[in-house]
Each structure stands twice: as structure tokens, then as C-alpha cells.
Structure 1
């Protein structure tokens, strides 16, 4: 046990702004656990990253962005750096992907056109215009994503947890370059989205190519029941999952139960630092506007995985997470077949299907929404929160 001073740095503060640093609490805690965050920086990724930067249980060692998710990579890097600046950790390295290196056939032969330009109105500029945060003048990391992940793992004295908020493209590249380093230094992978299910027996008319529109290239949708984070690069997902690293999935069912509401300002703790609370109130108001969606359509997708991961990391990977009401243990593989044969894929290309030869995983399939929102808004404010149900396990 070490003595840790938990501080909350007001948004926009620099190292010289000591008057903006506010003591929240001094308690005896275990050391902060190292994590790497890999993300595609949609608005839910941005708010998940804000939580992870504020959460006192962990230390974010590196942030890597993706080029095949729901944001433009140039804005994703800058938004991540705005968050590191605002949460008083401006020197955390943030890296670009090497290239648009999604291996999936969908991207190479029939592009899925992600990110969809019509949905980018408020994603790339959410933290510069809708809810403006200070610009981080430091340059991004000189290393590309896969190298930054490798070097962070190599230098860490302890095993590192990886929190995956987007497609698995970057992690698959790390595996191909140094698989034994990954096996030796990664404690556990926490994956946002997806749901492991049994093979469907009925057929489907929704067969390959799922992305093809009238001109053969325009994007129309993904297979029913699949996850965007898997569908965007199924070959990378297969690589990472087949490797066998310990895996926890915050399933789509779990994440979808954490409904967004503009009334969620009521969960902001009264002890939240003033500037952080102001940011949260404005972000909650502007998220539906920036996403061009009603609040009923929004969920705390990647935020849900971030909170689940933190609660498990605190308890050394055990299922002592108050945000999860139901767990399942499964073996699965990514369905790489595209077609309508119900005995093979059932038209479910990129879905996670039970498979006795596949990867072992634990997935959360039911959420405790109140616990989630309490933990999320506490952590983003830099306040240590432990559910009473879990306190007996922690000490």
C-alpha cells in the first residue's frame, strides 16, 4: 500500500496554475494501475477517455487512435490531446495509426465509408466548438500507434491492462510484430461492444455484400446484431481474439441498457471541481445536438466499458463490478464467412458466435444503470467511488 494524494485539476489548468488544483482526499490506496487506451474517438469515446483520465485508480500510460472508426483520425488525436490538457496530464503520449490499415474485405473491396461524413458534424469538433477545451500545444507522439503500444508495454515494470474502445486494427498490428511481448505484458483486454451468441438456425436474406448500395460501393448498414468495433475490421478482431489474451467484453446488451438523458446532470457530485462540473453540464446538453440524434437514441456505449474495466481492474480482474448484474463465460470466434447458409454463418458476418475451439471470454450482459452513472460521474470528477457492495472485496 502507498499513500496517494488524489487531486483534481480544473479544466484548462497548467502546471503553473497551482491555485486551480483542488485537494479531494488523502487516503491509503493501492498503486495506480497502468492502462493503455486504444480508441476511435467518437463522442462516446471522448467522454469515456475523460472518465479514464479523471479516475484516480489508474494511470493512463498511452493513448492510440484509429483510422477506421467513427471519427476522422486527425481530429481524434487532437481531441484526445485536448482531454489530456484539460485533465492536467498533457504529457501522456497520443499516437496516430500507421495508416488506414483495416484488413477486412469490407474495407478493401467494398468500402464501408466509415466514418460517415453525414454523421461527423459534431464528432471532430465536439471538444473544440460544441464544448470547447483548451488546445494542447505539445506535438503528438513521434511513434505510430503500434510502436507506442509496444514501447509502453516494454517499459512498464508491471503488466498493463488495455482498454479497447474501437476496432482492433492497432492491437492486431502489435501482435503481428511482437506477439510474445503482448502475451508477457498485457494483463487483460477490455473490449467495448459485441455479444457472444449461439448460431442462429434460421436463414437470412441479408447476405454479402452488406455494404453495397445501388452503385456497389456506398454504405448501407452492418449485419444485424454485430458490433461496429468488430465489423469495422473483423480480420483484426479474429487475430486478437484467436491469440488468447485474457478478455472481458462489455457486451452491446450491457452498454445499450445505460441510457443517456439530459437529466443526468443530477449524477454530477456536489464535490465535483467547478470547471469539471461546468464542462459536464454543457457536454450533457450538447451531445444530442453534436450527434444530430435525439437523447433517446444515445447510450453510454464506450463509457460503459470504461467503468466496467475500472471496477474489474481494482479487483485484479475479478467479476466484482457493481455496474454488472449478469455475467456469462463463453468460448467464441469471429464469424468470417459471409453468406446465408444457416449452418455456417446465417448471414452473420463479423458476429461473435459460440465456438468450442475459440477464445475464452467473460462478458457482461446486464447493467446496473444507477451504479454505472454514479461511478461514471464520480470518476470523471476525480472522485474515488466504490460501491458499498464491493468495499468488502477491496480492502
Structure 2
């Protein structure tokens, strides 16, 4: 039997994060060993931690003790945040009911757990980064003066699959502009048209991740724009009569999410999740990238990705995706029976 890919998920618990997490938890080729939560994106930290713990009740008793890691409350730089109404929806898990309240959640401090895990880990781990770079930015920063931890991280993390960023039209054809204004609707108050949300939330965290020396596959807006969430996909998901699919259908039926179907919602985080076991769903190109840090409130370019062949870090960037194949792969996994178990990793304090 093929060995399952071991994955740590790092999430801000938005609607598309649920799609990504359910896909990986349902996928028999994947062994999710921990889920770390950041409070810097969609959900606030305590709400996000509780929501992830309760999400595990969709996957049977053996999933209930999967480590849920309580991460950062604030970004490493600036204070960029989603609008309050967006965060309220995420905090309330989009009114989608969980089957139950997790009776035995295993909640740990993210930095302590991650540090101890990697210091003792001997297997290759894939990190799915779908909530900005804050948690792993802190971890990698703490390793800068710890040679043992640095080596264990570099040998233990096979790759990071990160949903974030965009290569602008000035650097590639077709390019992709940022998605901050498009996601805000009537809440437009940022003067930044070039950044993508996950990196915009914490550009320093993303910078540290880029430069640490672990291979990264960046699932950029250039690729996710090719996979809008269309009504045809939602209809097929609705037709799958499992608790997991019905939970996601309820998430997508939340009014603010439903309004984006066929318009501005894309397969952001679930596309990144799908590429862990099906990398051919996207085409990639390597760019030397910098994450722009300087904030200019009159012409904000912060968190944009700059192609710099001299100073940039080599990053594999997904620049295109195949919508029909992505839909088919995602729905295929959601139709599978629930795997017997999802984690072989003991909790670490």
C-alpha cells in the first residue's frame, strides 16, 4: 500500500479553508497529523480553534484527538485585517452546523507543539499553508539562532504548499491583480490593488517563509482564477449525501458566500489542498520572488510579489489550473467513504 502523505495544515478557518480541510481529512492518500490555527485572517483565534476542534466530529471518534494548535493572534508586521462582518461569518462557521461538540479536543500552543514535533520527527512532512505566514514565520524566525531546529525543519519539511500571492501583469501574461478589493465588496477601504489576502495579512511572515530554505509551491491567484466556484460545482456537491459534503454545502449557502458563487469566489485553498496528491492539476513556473514590505498608505504596494532575479528566492508558482479536472478530483474524494483513521501522530505538548 502506498504510504500516505503526512500533512500539517495551517489555517485561518475561512470558508475555503473548510473546503481544503475536509478534502484532506477525507482523502485516503493523506494523513493529517495536526491543524494549526492563526487568528490573523478570517476567524478570530479562539473561535477558529474551537471551530476546527468541532469540525473533527465529522470524521469519527479517531479524529477527535487530532492536535489542534493555537497559534498567533496578531501578524508579525502591520495590522491588516478582514472587515468585521467577514470575521463574524467565519467566527460563526457560516451557520453550518457541526455534528457535535468535540468532547476531547487536544489543543496545544502552536509554537511549542511545532518545535517539539520537528525536533523529534524523522519523517517527511508537507505543510499546507492556507492562512497567511504568521505561525510558520514565527517558527522559522525562532530557528534562526537554533542550528539543530533549523536542520530538523529543513530535513523534515519536504515542501510547503502555500495558497497566496499573485504574479502581476507587469511580470507575466496573463497576470493576476490582487484580490483585496474584490473580496471586500462594499467594505473597500484599502488602497492596495496588487496584493492577495493571505500574504497581505502578514507580509513579514510570508517573507520569512520564502527565505527560510524549504521548498515552496505557491498556488497563486494566477491559477485559482482559472477555477471559479460555479453553480454547477455547488450542485454536484449538494448531491453528495454525506455529512462532510452537506457541511460544506451549508458553508457555501451562507448568504455572503452564496452571493459570490459564479462571481468572485474561487477555489483558493482547496486548489492548494488538491495539488498535494494531484500536482498535475496546475502548471507551474519558477520565479525569483521578493515579498514587498514597505507600506505606503497613498499607493500601497505592500505584500505584492516582486520578481527580482538578483535578490529574490526561487519559488515554484502555479500560474494556471485545469478547472474541470480540479472539480472532478475534489468531488471524487468527497464521494469516497470515510477513511478508517486520519492520524498516526501522537499528541505532543
Q: What is the TM-score normalised by the length of structure 2?
A: 0.81
**Matching of residues 31-110 of structure 1 within 5 Å:** 31-88=3-60, 89-97=63-71, 99-104=72-77, 106-107=78-79
Which of 188, 198, 214 pairs up with 1:229?
A: 198
Go from structure 1 to structure 2 and tell me whether the alpha carbon gap of 1:59 and 1:263 turns closer, same or farther (over 3 Å shift). same
State how far apart, in whole Å, the 1-side matches of 2:312 and 2:287 are: 9
1:113-144 deviation per Cα after TM superposition (whole angstroms, max 9, x unaligned): x24212234322226x3344321122342x31
- Provide the aligned C-alpha RMSD in A: 2.8
3-state DSSP of counterpart to 1:157: coil
Unaligned runs of 5+ in 1: 3-29, 201-209, 211-217, 313-320, 385-395
Which of 243, 246, 258 pairs up with 1:275?
A: 243
Go from structure 1 to structure 2 and tell me whether the alpha carbon gap of 1:262 and 1:249 turns closer, same or farther (over 3 Å shift). same
Aligned to 1:194: 165
Which of 321, 324, 334 pairs up with 1:370?
A: 324
Aligned to 1:348: 301
Residues 62, 148 of structure 1: 8 Å contact kept: no
Aligned to 1:240: 209
Unaligned runs of 5+ in 2: 144-149, 172-180, 182-186, 339-349
1:323-379 deviation per Cα after TM superposition (whole angstroms, max 9, x unaligned): 21x3211111111234599xxxx8522111111222111111111111111111222
Go from structure 1 to structure 2 and tell me whether the alpha carbon gap of 1:232 and 1:262 turns closer, same or farther (over 3 Å shift). same
**Matching of residues 1-395 of structure 1 within 5 Å:** 2=1, 30-88=2-60, 89-97=63-71, 99-104=72-77, 106-107=78-79, 112=80, 114-126=81-93, 129-141=95-107, 143-178=108-143, 179-197=150-168, 220-221=189-190, 223-268=192-237, 274-284=242-252, 286-287=253-254, 289-291=255-257, 293-295=259-261, 296-312=263-279, 321=280, 323-324=281-282, 326-339=283-296, 347-356=300-309, 357-382=311-336
3-state DSSP of counterpart to 1:161: strand
Go from structure 1 to structure 2 and tell me whether the alpha carbon gap of 1:370 and 1:131 turns closer, same or farther (over 3 Å shift). farther
Residues 40, 73 of structure 2: 8 Å contact kept: yes
Q: What is the TM-score normalised by the length of structure 1?
A: 0.72
Residues 123, 291 of structure 1: 8 Å contact kept: no
State how far apart, in whole Å, the 1-side matches of 2:284 and 2:274 are: 15
Go from structure 1 to structure 2 and tell me whether the alpha carbon gap of 1:86 and 1:241 turns closer, same or farther (over 3 Å shift). same
Q: How many angstroms does 1:47 deviate by?
A: 1.6
Go from structure 1 to structure 2 and tell me whether the alpha carbon gap of 1:187 and 1:277 turns closer, same or farther (over 3 Å shift). closer
Residues 238, 246 of structure 2: 8 Å contact kept: no
Q: How many angstroms does 1:74 deviate by?
A: 1.5
1:212-236 deviation per Cα after TM superposition (whole angstroms, max 9, x unaligned): xxxxxx9822521211111111111
Query: Which of the two has higher C-alpha Rg?
Result: 1
Residues 132, 164 of structure 2: 8 Å contact kept: no
3-state DSSP of counterpart to 1:120: helix
